[in-house]
Amino acid sequence: MTPPGADARTARRSAVPLRIAMRRAAPWGIALALALLVMASLTAGSAPVSWREAVAALAGPWAGVFGAPAGDMAQAIVRDLRLPRVVLALLVGATLAMVGGLLQSTTRNDLADPFLFGLSSGASTGAVAVITLTGEWLGAWTLPAATFAGAAVAAGAVLLLVRRAGGQGPAQTVLAGLAVSFLFGALTHGLVFAGDQRAAHAVVFWSLGGLGLARWDNLWLACLGLAVPMGFVWRRHRALDALLAGDDTAHSLGIAPERLRTQAFVVAAVATACCVALAGVIGFVGLMVPHLARRLSGPLHAAFLPLAGVMGGALLLASDLVARTLLGSQELPVGIVTAGIGAVFVMALLRRRVVD
Protein backbone atom coordinates (compact mmCIF):
# COMPACT_ATOMS: atom_id res chain seq x y z
CA MET A 1 0.00 0.00 0.00
CA THR A 2 1.37 3.40 -1.02
CA PRO A 3 1.82 5.77 1.94
CA PRO A 4 -0.29 8.95 1.85
CA GLY A 5 1.52 11.75 0.04
CA ALA A 6 4.12 9.42 -1.53
CA ASP A 7 2.99 10.22 -5.07
CA ALA A 8 3.27 13.96 -4.43
CA ARG A 9 6.77 13.58 -2.96
CA THR A 10 7.85 11.46 -5.93
CA ALA A 11 6.50 14.05 -8.35
CA ARG A 12 8.37 16.84 -6.54
CA ARG A 13 11.63 14.87 -6.60
CA SER A 14 11.27 14.10 -10.32
CA ALA A 15 10.63 17.80 -11.01
CA VAL A 16 13.92 18.91 -9.43
CA PRO A 17 16.19 17.99 -12.40
CA LEU A 18 13.77 19.69 -14.78
CA ARG A 19 13.81 22.83 -12.65
CA ILE A 20 17.62 22.85 -12.57
CA ALA A 21 17.77 22.43 -16.35
CA MET A 22 15.33 25.31 -16.81
CA ARG A 23 17.43 27.57 -14.59
CA ARG A 24 20.55 26.77 -16.59
CA ALA A 25 18.83 27.34 -19.94
CA ALA A 26 16.98 30.49 -18.85
CA PRO A 27 19.82 33.00 -19.49
CA TRP A 28 20.28 31.74 -23.04
CA GLY A 29 16.55 31.83 -23.70
CA ILE A 30 16.25 35.36 -22.29
CA ALA A 31 19.24 36.55 -24.37
CA LEU A 32 17.72 35.10 -27.55
CA ALA A 33 14.30 36.61 -26.81
CA LEU A 34 15.91 39.97 -26.09
CA ALA A 35 17.83 39.93 -29.39
CA LEU A 36 14.67 39.08 -31.33
CA LEU A 37 12.73 41.83 -29.56
CA VAL A 38 15.40 44.42 -30.33
CA MET A 39 15.38 43.51 -34.01
CA ALA A 40 11.57 43.51 -34.14
CA SER A 41 11.45 46.93 -32.47
CA LEU A 42 13.94 48.35 -34.97
CA THR A 43 12.08 47.03 -38.01
CA ALA A 44 8.37 47.23 -37.10
CA GLY A 45 6.32 50.40 -37.05
CA SER A 46 4.37 52.82 -39.22
CA ALA A 47 7.35 52.89 -41.62
CA PRO A 48 8.57 49.26 -41.88
CA VAL A 49 12.29 48.65 -42.29
CA SER A 50 13.77 45.33 -43.40
CA TRP A 51 16.13 43.54 -41.05
CA ARG A 52 18.96 43.95 -43.58
CA GLU A 53 18.44 47.71 -43.66
CA ALA A 54 18.29 47.82 -39.87
CA VAL A 55 21.54 45.88 -39.51
CA ALA A 56 23.19 48.00 -42.19
CA ALA A 57 22.07 51.19 -40.44
CA LEU A 58 23.56 49.94 -37.18
CA ALA A 59 26.77 48.80 -38.87
CA GLY A 60 27.55 52.26 -40.24
CA PRO A 61 30.87 52.21 -42.20
CA TRP A 62 30.87 48.39 -42.20
CA ALA A 63 27.42 48.17 -43.83
CA GLY A 64 28.92 46.65 -46.96
CA VAL A 65 29.44 43.39 -45.10
CA PHE A 66 25.64 42.98 -44.92
CA GLY A 67 24.94 43.98 -48.52
CA ALA A 68 23.94 47.39 -49.82
CA PRO A 69 24.16 50.28 -47.34
CA ALA A 70 20.91 51.48 -45.81
CA GLY A 71 19.27 54.54 -47.35
CA ASP A 72 19.23 57.90 -45.61
CA MET A 73 15.60 57.46 -44.59
CA ALA A 74 16.20 54.01 -43.09
CA GLN A 75 19.27 55.24 -41.23
CA ALA A 76 17.33 58.17 -39.76
CA ILE A 77 14.47 55.92 -38.66
CA VAL A 78 16.70 53.28 -37.09
CA ARG A 79 19.45 55.39 -35.56
CA ASP A 80 17.62 58.55 -34.51
CA LEU A 81 14.09 57.29 -33.72
CA ARG A 82 13.88 53.60 -32.94
CA LEU A 83 17.27 52.80 -31.44
CA PRO A 84 17.01 55.48 -28.69
CA ARG A 85 13.52 54.17 -27.96
CA VAL A 86 14.81 50.61 -27.65
CA VAL A 87 17.56 51.74 -25.28
CA LEU A 88 15.09 53.74 -23.19
CA ALA A 89 12.71 50.76 -22.94
CA LEU A 90 15.53 48.50 -21.77
CA LEU A 91 16.78 51.01 -19.20
CA VAL A 92 13.37 51.95 -17.79
CA GLY A 93 12.12 48.35 -17.72
CA ALA A 94 15.27 47.21 -15.95
CA THR A 95 15.06 50.04 -13.41
CA LEU A 96 11.40 49.45 -12.58
CA ALA A 97 11.94 45.71 -12.20
CA MET A 98 14.93 46.17 -9.89
CA VAL A 99 13.11 48.78 -7.80
CA GLY A 100 10.09 46.48 -7.52
CA GLY A 101 12.27 43.58 -6.40
CA LEU A 102 14.03 45.81 -3.89
CA LEU A 103 10.74 47.01 -2.40
CA GLN A 104 9.33 43.48 -2.25
CA SER A 105 12.40 42.25 -0.37
CA THR A 106 12.62 45.10 2.12
CA THR A 107 8.89 45.17 2.90
CA ARG A 108 8.34 41.39 2.58
CA ASN A 109 5.27 42.07 0.46
CA ASP A 110 4.82 40.21 -2.83
CA LEU A 111 2.65 42.96 -4.34
CA ALA A 112 5.05 45.85 -3.71
CA ASP A 113 6.08 48.05 -6.62
CA PRO A 114 6.84 51.77 -7.12
CA PHE A 115 3.21 52.55 -7.95
CA LEU A 116 1.79 50.81 -4.88
CA PHE A 117 4.11 52.71 -2.51
CA GLY A 118 3.27 56.13 -3.92
CA LEU A 119 6.64 56.78 -5.56
CA SER A 120 5.25 56.83 -9.11
CA SER A 121 2.25 58.89 -7.98
CA GLY A 122 4.48 61.45 -6.27
CA ALA A 123 6.75 61.76 -9.28
CA SER A 124 3.71 62.06 -11.53
CA THR A 125 2.30 64.90 -9.42
CA GLY A 126 5.55 66.83 -9.72
CA ALA A 127 5.63 66.40 -13.49
CA VAL A 128 1.96 67.34 -13.96
CA ALA A 129 2.50 70.49 -11.86
CA VAL A 130 5.27 71.52 -14.26
CA ILE A 131 3.25 70.75 -17.38
CA THR A 132 0.03 72.46 -16.27
CA LEU A 133 1.19 75.30 -14.02
CA THR A 134 4.81 76.42 -13.94
CA GLY A 135 6.36 75.56 -17.29
CA GLU A 136 10.03 74.80 -17.86
CA TRP A 137 11.47 77.30 -15.40
CA LEU A 138 14.73 75.30 -15.09
CA GLY A 139 15.05 74.47 -18.76
CA ALA A 140 15.86 70.85 -19.52
CA TRP A 141 16.28 70.14 -15.79
CA THR A 142 12.72 71.17 -14.90
CA LEU A 143 10.94 67.85 -15.42
CA PRO A 144 13.64 65.68 -13.75
CA ALA A 145 13.78 68.06 -10.78
CA ALA A 146 10.00 68.09 -10.41
CA THR A 147 9.65 64.31 -10.61
CA PHE A 148 12.46 63.78 -8.11
CA ALA A 149 10.91 66.28 -5.71
CA GLY A 150 7.53 64.57 -5.97
CA ALA A 151 8.99 61.08 -5.47
CA ALA A 152 11.13 62.27 -2.55
CA VAL A 153 8.13 63.87 -0.82
CA ALA A 154 6.11 60.68 -1.35
CA ALA A 155 8.88 58.49 0.06
CA GLY A 156 9.30 60.81 3.04
CA ALA A 157 5.56 60.77 3.69
CA VAL A 158 5.49 56.96 3.65
CA LEU A 159 8.40 56.71 6.08
CA LEU A 160 6.89 59.36 8.37
CA LEU A 161 3.53 57.58 8.46
CA VAL A 162 5.19 54.26 9.23
CA ARG A 163 7.23 55.70 12.08
CA ARG A 164 4.19 57.46 13.53
CA ALA A 165 2.40 54.09 13.40
CA GLY A 166 5.08 52.65 15.68
CA GLY A 167 7.11 50.40 13.43
CA GLN A 168 8.32 49.49 9.96
CA GLY A 169 6.57 46.17 9.49
CA PRO A 170 5.26 45.05 6.11
CA ALA A 171 1.60 45.76 6.92
CA GLN A 172 2.23 49.32 8.11
CA THR A 173 4.44 50.08 5.12
CA VAL A 174 1.87 48.81 2.63
CA LEU A 175 -0.98 50.79 4.20
CA ALA A 176 1.14 53.95 4.33
CA GLY A 177 2.15 53.49 0.68
CA LEU A 178 -1.46 53.06 -0.41
CA ALA A 179 -2.55 56.16 1.49
CA VAL A 180 0.22 58.28 -0.05
CA SER A 181 -0.49 56.86 -3.52
CA PHE A 182 -4.17 57.80 -3.29
CA LEU A 183 -3.32 61.25 -1.95
CA PHE A 184 -0.90 62.10 -4.76
CA GLY A 185 -3.28 60.60 -7.31
CA ALA A 186 -5.97 63.01 -6.11
CA LEU A 187 -3.51 65.92 -6.30
CA THR A 188 -2.57 64.96 -9.86
CA HIS A 189 -6.20 64.90 -10.99
CA GLY A 190 -6.81 68.21 -9.27
CA LEU A 191 -3.87 69.79 -11.10
CA VAL A 192 -5.13 68.48 -14.43
CA PHE A 193 -8.59 69.92 -13.76
CA ALA A 194 -7.40 73.30 -12.45
CA GLY A 195 -4.44 73.84 -14.80
CA ASP A 196 -4.11 74.74 -18.46
CA GLN A 197 -6.81 72.73 -20.25
CA ARG A 198 -4.83 72.81 -23.48
CA ALA A 199 -2.23 70.59 -21.81
CA ALA A 200 -4.79 68.18 -20.37
CA HIS A 201 -4.64 65.74 -23.32
CA ALA A 202 -0.84 65.64 -23.21
CA VAL A 203 -0.95 65.05 -19.46
CA VAL A 204 -3.39 62.15 -19.81
CA PHE A 205 -1.28 60.47 -22.47
CA TRP A 206 1.93 61.06 -20.50
CA SER A 207 0.42 59.83 -17.23
CA LEU A 208 -0.37 56.48 -18.90
CA GLY A 209 3.28 55.99 -19.87
CA GLY A 210 5.08 56.19 -23.18
CA LEU A 211 8.55 56.12 -24.70
CA GLY A 212 8.05 58.83 -27.30
CA LEU A 213 10.44 61.24 -25.53
CA ALA A 214 13.44 58.99 -26.21
CA ARG A 215 16.38 60.95 -27.61
CA TRP A 216 20.11 60.39 -27.42
CA ASP A 217 20.57 63.60 -25.42
CA ASN A 218 18.25 62.56 -22.55
CA LEU A 219 19.15 58.90 -22.14
CA TRP A 220 21.70 59.85 -19.50
CA LEU A 221 18.81 60.32 -17.08
CA ALA A 222 17.60 56.75 -17.65
CA CYS A 223 21.18 55.51 -17.21
CA LEU A 224 21.35 57.34 -13.88
CA GLY A 225 18.05 55.78 -12.83
CA LEU A 226 19.43 52.29 -13.45
CA ALA A 227 22.88 52.98 -11.98
CA VAL A 228 21.45 54.00 -8.58
CA PRO A 229 19.73 50.66 -7.71
CA MET A 230 22.54 48.67 -9.33
CA GLY A 231 25.13 50.37 -7.15
CA PHE A 232 22.99 49.92 -4.05
CA VAL A 233 22.50 46.22 -4.72
CA TRP A 234 26.22 45.74 -5.43
CA ARG A 235 27.14 47.28 -2.08
CA ARG A 236 24.30 45.97 0.09
CA HIS A 237 23.21 42.64 -1.40
CA ARG A 238 24.41 40.64 1.63
CA ALA A 239 22.45 42.88 4.00
CA LEU A 240 19.39 42.47 1.80
CA ASP A 241 19.85 38.69 1.89
CA ALA A 242 19.98 38.79 5.70
CA LEU A 243 16.75 40.80 5.77
CA LEU A 244 14.95 37.90 4.09
CA ALA A 245 15.38 35.87 7.30
CA GLY A 246 13.56 38.48 9.37
CA ASP A 247 14.41 41.57 11.38
CA ASP A 248 15.63 39.64 14.41
CA THR A 249 18.13 37.67 12.33
CA ALA A 250 19.29 40.84 10.61
CA HIS A 251 19.83 42.51 14.00
CA SER A 252 21.88 39.53 15.19
CA LEU A 253 24.12 39.95 12.12
CA GLY A 254 24.76 43.62 12.88
CA ILE A 255 22.31 45.02 10.30
CA ALA A 256 19.76 47.73 11.15
CA PRO A 257 16.58 46.83 9.22
CA GLU A 258 14.99 50.25 9.68
CA ARG A 259 18.02 52.03 8.26
CA LEU A 260 18.25 49.56 5.37
CA ARG A 261 14.58 50.09 4.49
CA THR A 262 15.05 53.86 4.59
CA GLN A 263 18.03 53.60 2.26
CA ALA A 264 16.07 51.33 -0.09
CA PHE A 265 13.19 53.83 -0.19
CA VAL A 266 15.56 56.68 -1.06
CA VAL A 267 17.14 54.60 -3.83
CA ALA A 268 13.71 53.62 -5.14
CA ALA A 269 12.55 57.26 -5.10
CA VAL A 270 15.54 58.48 -7.12
CA ALA A 271 15.31 55.64 -9.65
CA THR A 272 11.53 56.00 -10.05
CA ALA A 273 11.81 59.76 -10.55
CA CYS A 274 14.29 59.26 -13.38
CA CYS A 275 11.95 56.79 -15.08
CA VAL A 276 8.83 58.93 -14.68
CA ALA A 277 10.61 62.02 -16.02
CA LEU A 278 11.22 60.26 -19.36
CA ALA A 279 8.51 57.63 -19.69
CA GLY A 280 5.64 58.69 -17.47
CA VAL A 281 3.89 56.32 -15.10
CA ILE A 282 4.31 52.68 -16.16
CA GLY A 283 2.77 50.26 -13.72
CA PHE A 284 3.04 46.54 -13.00
CA VAL A 285 6.53 45.98 -14.44
CA GLY A 286 8.00 46.23 -10.95
CA LEU A 287 5.32 43.90 -9.62
CA MET A 288 5.42 41.07 -12.19
CA VAL A 289 9.05 40.66 -13.13
CA PRO A 290 10.56 40.04 -9.66
CA HIS A 291 8.25 37.06 -9.17
CA LEU A 292 9.38 35.50 -12.45
CA ALA A 293 13.07 36.25 -11.88
CA ARG A 294 12.98 34.87 -8.33
CA ARG A 295 11.71 31.52 -9.61
CA LEU A 296 14.63 31.26 -12.03
CA SER A 297 17.51 32.54 -9.90
CA GLY A 298 16.42 32.05 -6.31
CA PRO A 299 15.99 34.77 -3.66
CA LEU A 300 19.61 35.93 -3.24
CA HIS A 301 19.87 39.49 -4.48
CA ALA A 302 23.25 39.33 -6.24
CA ALA A 303 21.68 37.04 -8.89
CA PHE A 304 18.00 37.80 -8.51
CA LEU A 305 17.91 41.58 -9.07
CA PRO A 306 20.23 41.71 -12.15
CA LEU A 307 18.15 38.97 -13.76
CA ALA A 308 15.00 40.91 -12.90
CA GLY A 309 16.53 43.94 -14.61
CA VAL A 310 17.17 42.04 -17.84
CA MET A 311 13.69 40.53 -17.81
CA GLY A 312 12.11 43.90 -17.01
CA GLY A 313 13.82 45.49 -19.99
CA ALA A 314 12.60 42.68 -22.24
CA LEU A 315 9.04 42.98 -20.93
CA LEU A 316 8.84 46.74 -21.46
CA LEU A 317 10.40 46.43 -24.92
CA ALA A 318 7.80 43.81 -25.88
CA SER A 319 5.00 45.94 -24.43
CA ASP A 320 6.19 48.98 -26.39
CA LEU A 321 6.30 46.91 -29.57
CA VAL A 322 2.67 45.90 -29.01
CA ALA A 323 1.68 49.49 -28.20
CA ARG A 324 3.26 50.80 -31.42
CA THR A 325 1.87 48.16 -33.78
CA LEU A 326 -1.48 47.02 -32.34
CA LEU A 327 -3.54 49.85 -33.86
CA GLY A 328 -1.48 50.45 -36.98
CA SER A 329 -0.46 54.10 -37.29
CA GLN A 330 -1.95 55.09 -33.89
CA GLU A 331 0.26 54.52 -30.87
CA LEU A 332 -1.16 53.29 -27.58
CA PRO A 333 0.32 54.43 -24.26
CA VAL A 334 2.57 51.60 -23.15
CA GLY A 335 1.11 51.78 -19.65
CA ILE A 336 -2.17 50.40 -21.00
CA VAL A 337 -0.38 47.30 -22.28
CA THR A 338 1.58 46.69 -19.07
CA ALA A 339 -1.56 47.25 -16.97
CA GLY A 340 -3.44 44.63 -18.99
CA ILE A 341 -0.63 42.12 -18.66
CA GLY A 342 -0.27 42.93 -14.97
CA ALA A 343 -3.97 42.40 -14.27
CA VAL A 344 -3.83 38.94 -15.84
CA PHE A 345 -0.67 38.16 -13.87
CA VAL A 346 -2.17 39.19 -10.52
CA MET A 347 -5.30 37.12 -11.17
CA ALA A 348 -3.14 34.11 -12.06
CA LEU A 349 -1.05 34.66 -8.92
CA LEU A 350 -4.12 34.80 -6.72
CA ARG A 351 -5.63 31.73 -8.36
CA ARG A 352 -2.44 29.76 -7.83
CA ARG A 353 -2.32 30.69 -4.14
CA VAL A 354 -5.94 29.65 -3.70
CA VAL A 355 -5.22 26.30 -5.37
CA ASP A 356 -2.06 25.75 -3.28
Domain boundary assignment for the chain: 43-60+67-355
% of the chain beyond a pLDDT of 90: 23
Specify the pLDDT at position 355. 54
Reported confidence tier of residue 63, pLDDT bands at 50, 70, 90? low
260-278 confidence digits (pLDDT tens): 888 898 899 889 888 888 8
Q: What's the rounded mean pLDDT across residues 77-91? A: 93
Q: Give the chain's end-to-end CA distance (angstroms, integer).
A: 26
**105, 121, 114: which is closest to 284 by C-alpha?**
114
Q: Is the pLDDT of residue 349 over 80?
A: no
The predicted pLDDT at position 92 comes to: 96
Higher-pLDDT residue of 50 and 204 is 50
Predicted pLDDT at 20: 67
Residue 204 pLDDT level (bands cut at 50, 70, 90):
confident
Per-residue model confidence as pLDDT tens digits over 18-38: 566 666 777 788 888 999 999
Distances (CA, A) of 208 to 81, 178, 201, 339, 348: 21, 19, 11, 10, 24
pTM comes to: 0.85
Q: What is the mean pLDDT of residues 140-152?
A: 81
Q: Would you place residue 1 in the very low, low, confident or very high pLDDT band (cuts 50, 70, 90)? A: very low
**Residue 206 vs residue 247, higher pLDDT:** 247
- Residue 355 to residues 4, 8, 346, Cα–Cα distance (Å): 19, 15, 14
Q: Which residue did the predictor score with more confidence, 10 or 132?
A: 132
Instruction: Say how far apart CA 306 and CA 200 lie, in whole Å.
Output: 37
CATH 1.20.1250.20 fits 43-60+67-355, yes or no: no
Q: What is the pLDDT of residue 99?
A: 95
